[in-house]
Amino acid sequence: MIELANLSKWVKAGGNQTFLLKDINLKIDKGDFVSIMGPSGSGKSTLLNVIGMLDDYDEGQYLFDGEDVGGLKEKAKQSLHKDHIGFVFQAYHLIDELTVYENIETPLLYQNMKSAERKAIVADMLDRFQMVGKKDLFPAQLSGGQQQLVGIARALVANPDIILADEPTGNLNSKQGEEIMDIFTRLNKEDGVTIIQVTHSEKNAAYGHRIINLLDARIEN
Amino acid sequence: MITYYLKIAWRNFKSSKLFSLLNLLGLSVAIAVCIPLFLFIGKERSFDSGYANKDHIYRVNLIPHQKSDETWGSVPNAVAPAMMQDIPEISYAARMLKNGFGTPASLRVGQENFKEDLLYWSDPELFKIFDFQFTAGEGKNPLQEDNAAVINESESRRLFGEASPLGKTIIVDNGPTLVVRGVYKDLPDNSSIDPAMIANFKSSRMSRSIYWSNASYETFCLLKPGSDIKIVNQKVQALTAKYIKDPSDRWFSLSLQPLSEIHLHSAQVMDTYISRIGDIKTVRQIGLLGLLIILIACINYMNLATAKSEKRAREVGINKTLGATRKQMVLRFYADTALLAFLSVVTGFLLSFGSLFLFNSISGSHLAMTDLFGLPTLLFLMVIWVLVTLLAGSYPALLLSGSSALQLMQKRFHAGGLDRVLRKALVVVQFSCSIVLIIAIVIIYQQMRFVGNKNLGFKPDGVLMINISGVAKAQNLVGFTNEISQMPNVRNVAFLQSPPGFGASQRSLHKADAKSDLTLYTCHADAEVVPALGLHLLAGQSLPKQLAKTDSAVYVLANKKVVDFMGWTPEQAIGRKVDVDLGENAYIVGVVDNFNYLSLKSPIEPYIYYAANDAPESFNALMVKINTDQLAGTMDKIQSAFGKDVPSVAFDYSFLDSHLATLYNADRVMQRTVLLFSCLAIFVSCLGLFGLSAFMAEQKTKEIGIRKVLGASNFSISRMLSLHFLRLVVLSIIIGIPIAVYLMREWLSNFEYRIHISWLVVALAALSGLLIALITVSYQSVKASRANPVNSIKTE
């Protein structure tokens, strides 16, 4: 499903070329659960952003479902990621002005879905995460773990093939973290959602089928 | 989707109260100010648009050869008949002569006297040119008989109450007796011509001789549809050559001015009876000021919105990762602005009831409250709504939607510093405007005070003017003048052709060896003119008190300009003959210092008072110099004496000093309007600065906290925050001063007598601008600097 071949990304600072990613070769199949690990600054988040098409790369090839992402126009990329990819962030990144319900509903609005359909899907999602009672609360009224649940529900609501999670448990205590990991495992097993997560924690990384270690912008073997 | 955008916009509005309220206040005040201005401009532009023939009506103007930069709105009374006879393209032409060349008439109806300012003597053709709506009488040809007159409805009520006026008689100035043959609907406010009563020109004393010399007759004509105005203009020009046999008597040329241009493009036209005169310059200035205020309010919004955008960037970034397209994000921001602009338009509309009242009272306009509900106002508000949304909303919308999601979600979003530069530039633009306005206020105020205190060369205070143009014979006044002269509070009583501030007769001052003559103003007067007006005699004496019946000499009291032109000293001039078109025997008996007989906008010109038997001009006014200590009592006595001694004429009086003040009415209106606008513009600017400083302080909370932990004092923190803005204000001052000085020099050039712009005053005005800014900003700075550093560090 995702194929990176000799992919590199760099920045130029004062004549020096600093690699953020170097010669990345990576193949992720449908239904995979991959954990990306590595020390700070090793390029984990950059890799995730490139996969999520939020960031560009400078060299190499990125095939998504066999399509060359490098050759796509901005609009095509946007619709690709709108239809296939859901994001979960360390800092949750919920919209403060929207309620739980509305936060979850937002991706569906951008899919131009009809109101009745939206209602049904969001209700289903609230049910699944047992948040029906909290649907009218604003993010500030929720605990961190609850906010991240909303974040995951929002990532899932548009029914993506892949979830990209950037340290999803980084701001949570270990019990909340476990809960999130259990949800990821279930999603992966039962719904066949591909999951790629960046994490610092060995324990959380172990939930994945395989672990990719990054060091100084390269994949370690 | 749109409801979703509006929902978020509404929540944003509520969640940042300070931001929203500052913007709402600024924009709604700006809109409330613009509504009356819009109505005012609309009314000015609508002048004379109600007449069915409006596109084919022209006024005949006159350009004197001697002063080709002047245009007069009136022409000799021979022009209208000649046009009708000679030019086939002219359907109709009609003269409109204001009674007594502009002096009010005294009407006698039954046993009562009425003063009438708006009596015109005109030709029946007037009703073919302008469409009057007759509500009584035979409307088709109401001035058929020579002694016919028509009046408007208000005049009918005033003179006759509820009774039908048809067939009733009115005696004008103890002269002709007129019969009312029709009543017409009052002409609308936006009509240039404003007669309350129109009488047949044939009954006027002025119809007895038809001549090509005296140009005092406002003349309108109606062109046949499809005529070429250029050709008609040529034909009109050719009339003088045809009818004035002696080429040296052809002292003017004629030209046609379309009706549509009369209201706004005639500010420089002299000698017209039309009093409802606007000026396209004023309309433009007012429109510009209105736009300026809207712009300042929009700049506030842009500034505050971009300042806040750093907060909102994250939200946009999230939406982008959730699949929002750029277009959708742009729409969201426009929805934000549109909501705020809509609320401002509504609030502004409500506030406009107050601002309209305010505008009417300072400008003397009569804009109706009902106009607020008219379609034009609603359309205007719609346009403002869209305009503000686009103008104010574009920058935040395009700035944020154009950046990538990753950039936006970073902790500190900067749009490459561009937003900061722009913000600074906008603050500078805004404050430069404020500085210009502050300087303008001060200079206009100074100039108006200068005008008020200027030594006019005579003393207008305590001079009562009584209109006596309705008195048929001067002998009838002897009893009255004798009686009031006895009153202890009456000092002098002078007879005059026309008081200072009114026009006088124009004649020529001839000098044997000079190539060209000098235009000179003459005024028939008597001996008391010097003490009554407080003129300063330089040599000789005042006009003689009594003239022998057989005396054929003309006695002249000249101002210094006259003797300067002749090359004499005042002493040398006494007893000399002068040729001023008043006959062979005109002698100078006295010389007075120059005085401003018109407004200070015009230079002093040669002026003489003369006394003679059988003077060509009659006396129109009595100047009564009084002691104003017991004004009310004195006035009562004078009035009752007038009623007793001159029972057939209405007592029409005014005070010379207040009349002279009316010469500067337009400038006073300008002064007050600018003052109001400037205060509002400065207020709106300050709102923006206040909001901006609040956001800056909020943004720098962490920096402030760290600095305080490192030992910075409250004072040094607030100084740091304030200085950031004051630098911009200083830059605004540097930009604003030259603009203000340039604009004010332009305005002052309207005045013949004007102040010099003092740099000290400009500097003080600019300094006060700085002070206002400092006070605005320091509130936030001090507040931020006094916060507990522990709290501010925690915010990250």
Nearest beta carbon to residue A97 from set B15, B323, B328: B15
Local confidence band at B794 (pLDDT 50, 70, 90 cut-offs): low
Give the predicted TM-score (pTM) of the model.
Answer: 0.77
Is 50 exceeded by the pLDDT of residue A126?
Answer: yes
Q: What are the pLDDT digits (tens) for B206-258? A: 888 888 877 889 999 999 999 999 999 999 999 998 998 888 778 889 999 99
CA B142 to chain CA mean position, Å: 36
Q: Which tokens in the block code for residue B145? A: 């008989």
B119 bridge partner residues: B197
Q: What is the pLDDT of residue B411?
A: 59
Q: What is the pLDDT of residue B382?
A: 94
The DSSP secondary-structure symbol of B648 reads: T
Q: Do B12 and A97 touch (CB under 8 A)?
A: yes
Local confidence band at B420 (pLDDT 50, 70, 90 cut-offs): confident
Are B28 and B348 in contact, with CB atoms under 8 Å apart?
A: yes
What are the helix (H) ranges across chain A?
A: 44-51, 74-84, 100-110, 115-128, 144-157, 174-186, 202-205
Note whether B406 contacts A: Cβ–Cβ < 8 A: yes
Q: Which residues of A touch B322 (CB under 8 A)?
A: 87, 106-107, 110, 154
In this prediction, what percent of chain B has a pLDDT beyond 90? 31
Q: What are the pLDDT digits (tens) for B169-218? A: 999 988 889 999 999 999 998 899 999 999 999 988 888 888 887 788 99
Are B73 and B102 in contact, with CB atoms under 8 Å apart?
A: no
Of B82 and B706, the structure prediction assigns the larger pLDDT to B82
Is 80 exceeded by the pLDDT of residue B1?
Answer: no
Q: What is the pLDDT of residue B796?
A: 39
Note whether B742 contacts A: Cβ–Cβ < 8 A: no
Of B508 and B793, the structure prediction assigns the larger pLDDT to B508
Is 80 exceeded by the pLDDT of residue B407?
Answer: no
Are B656 and B499 in contact, with CB atoms under 8 Å apart?
A: yes
Ramachandran quadrant class, B740 (left: phi over 0; alpha: psi -120 to 50; beta: rest): alpha
Q: Which of B274-278, B591-595, B684-688 is least confident? A: B274-278
Chain B closest-CA separation from residue A41 CA (Å)? 16
Is 90 exceeded by the pLDDT of residue B11?
Answer: no
Are B402 and B330 in contact, with CB atoms under 8 Å apart?
A: no
Say if strands B75-76 and B71-72 run parallel, antiparallel, or are unpaired.
Answer: unpaired
Cα atoms found within 13 Å of the Cα of residue B708, Cβ hemisphere only: 20
Q: What is the pLDDT of residue B197?
A: 95
Q: Which residues of A touch B404 (CB under 8 A)?
A: 54
Q: What is the pLDDT of residue B795?
A: 47
Measured CA angle at B472 (ends B467, B478), to 5 deg: 75
- Four-point Cα dihedral A15, A18, A23, A28, nearest 10: -140
The DSSP secondary-structure symbol of A189 reads: I
Are B316 and B330 in contact, with CB atoms under 8 Å apart?
A: no
Q: What are the pLDDT digits (tens) for B779-790? A: 888 887 777 776
Q: What is the pLDDT of residue B792?
A: 62
Local confidence band at B395 (pLDDT 50, 70, 90 cut-offs): confident
Find which of A46, A47, A55, A106 to mutate to test the B interface (most B CBs within 10 Å of its CB): A106
Measured CA angle at B349 (ends B344, B353), to 5 deg: 140
Number of neighbours of residue B208 by Cβ within 10 angstroms: 7
Note whether B8 contacts A: Cβ–Cβ < 8 A: yes
Chain A closest-CA separation from residue B697 CA (Å)? 22
Total residue count of chain A as it appears in this document: 221
Local confidence band at B53 (pLDDT 50, 70, 90 cut-offs): very high
Is 90 exceeded by the pLDDT of residue B126?
Answer: yes
Chain B closest-CA separation from residue A16 CA (Å)? 22
Local confidence band at B793 (pLDDT 50, 70, 90 cut-offs): low
Kindly give, in sequence order, each residue whose CB lies less than 8 Å from that of residue B157, ignoring residues fewer than 6 positions away.
none
Task: Give residue limits of the domains in chain A.
Answer: 30-57+73-220
Q: What is the pLDDT of residue B255?
A: 93
Q: Do A54 and B406 touch (CB under 8 A)?
A: yes
Q: Across residues B308-336, what is the average pLDDT? A: 81
Q: Give the distance between the most distant pair of CA atoms in chain B.
A: 109
Q: Which residues of B touch A76 (CB under 8 A)?
A: none
Say if strands B197-200 and B75-76 run parallel, antiparallel, or are unpaired.
Answer: unpaired
Total residue count of chain B as it appears in this document: 796
Q: What are the pLDDT digits (tens) for B659-673? A: 888 777 777 777 787
Is 70 exceeded by the pLDDT of residue B412?
Answer: no
Sequence-distant contacts of B483-490: CB under 8 A, at least 24 apart: B483/B641, B483/B645, B484/B624, B484/B637, B484/B638, B484/B641, B487/B634, B487/B637, B487/B638, B488/B627, B489/B626, B489/B627, B489/B629, B489/B630, B489/B633, B489/B634, B490/B624, B490/B625, B490/B626, B490/B627, B490/B634, B490/B638
Q: What is the pLDDT of residue B195?
A: 94
Chain B residue at shortest CA distance from A115:
B1
User: What's the CA gap between B488 and B627, in Å, rounded?
Assistant: 9
End-to-end CA distance of chain B: 33
Find which of A48, A96, A162, A167 to mutate to test the B interface (most B CBs within 10 Å of its CB): A96
Q: If you classify domain A30-57+73-220 with CATH, what class do you get?
A: alpha beta
Note whether B325 contacts A: Cβ–Cβ < 8 A: yes
Are B325 and A110 in contact, with CB atoms under 8 Å apart?
A: yes
Q: Which tokens in the block code for residue B329? A: 């994000």
- Four-point Cα dihedral A137, A141, A143, A148, nearest 10: 50
Is 50 exceeded by the pLDDT of residue B270?
Answer: yes
Nearest beta carbon to residue A109 from set B4, B315, B318: B4
Q: Which residues of B touch A87 (CB under 8 A)?
A: 321-322
Q: Do A87 and B321 touch (CB under 8 A)?
A: yes
Q: Which of A69-78, B41-50, B417-426 is least confident? A: B417-426
Note whether A51 contacts B: Cβ–Cβ < 8 A: no
Note whether B12 contacts A: Cβ–Cβ < 8 A: yes
Are B305 and B395 in contact, with CB atoms under 8 Å apart?
A: yes
Q: What are the pLDDT digits (tens) for B423-480? A: 888 888 888 988 888 898 888 888 888 877 777 888 888 899 998 877 767 677 888 8
Q: What is the pLDDT of residue A66?
A: 87
Q: What are the pLDDT digits (tens) for B555-568? A: 999 999 889 888 88
Local confidence band at B688 (pLDDT 50, 70, 90 cut-offs): confident
Q: What are the pLDDT digits (tens) for B695-730? A: 777 777 777 777 777 777 788 888 888 888 888 889
Q: What is the pLDDT of residue B791?
A: 66
User: What's the CA gap between B27 and B36, in Å, rounded?
Assistant: 15
Is 50 exceeded by the pLDDT of residue A8?
Answer: yes
Element (H, E) at B571: helix B570-573
Note whether B1 contacts A: Cβ–Cβ < 8 A: yes
Local confidence band at A4 (pLDDT 50, 70, 90 cut-offs): very high
Q: What are the pLDDT digits (tens) for B593-627? A: 988 877 777 778 889 999 988 888 888 889 999 98
Q: Do A110 and B325 touch (CB under 8 A)?
A: yes
* Helix pair B2-15, B17-45: axis angle to 10 deg: 110
Q: Do B15 and A55 touch (CB under 8 A)?
A: no
User: What's the CA gap between B4 and A219, in Å, rounded?
Assistant: 44
User: What's the CA gap between B566 and B513, in Å, rounded?
Assistant: 10
Are B94 and B219 in contact, with CB atoms under 8 Å apart?
A: yes
Note whether A119 contacts B: Cβ–Cβ < 8 A: no
Note whether B311 contacts A: Cβ–Cβ < 8 A: no
What are the helix (H) ranges across B457-569?
A: 478-486, 529-533, 560-566
Element (H, E) at B269: strand B269-270
Q: Across residues B134-140, what is the average pLDDT? A: 84
Chain A residue at shortest CA distance from B324:
A110
Local confidence band at B91 (pLDDT 50, 70, 90 cut-offs): very high
Q: Which residues of B touch A78 (CB under 8 A)?
A: 323, 325
Mean of pLDDT over chain B? 86
Q: Do A78 and B325 touch (CB under 8 A)?
A: yes
The DSSP secondary-structure symbol of B186 reads: P
Q: Which residue has the tokens 């009563």?
A: B197
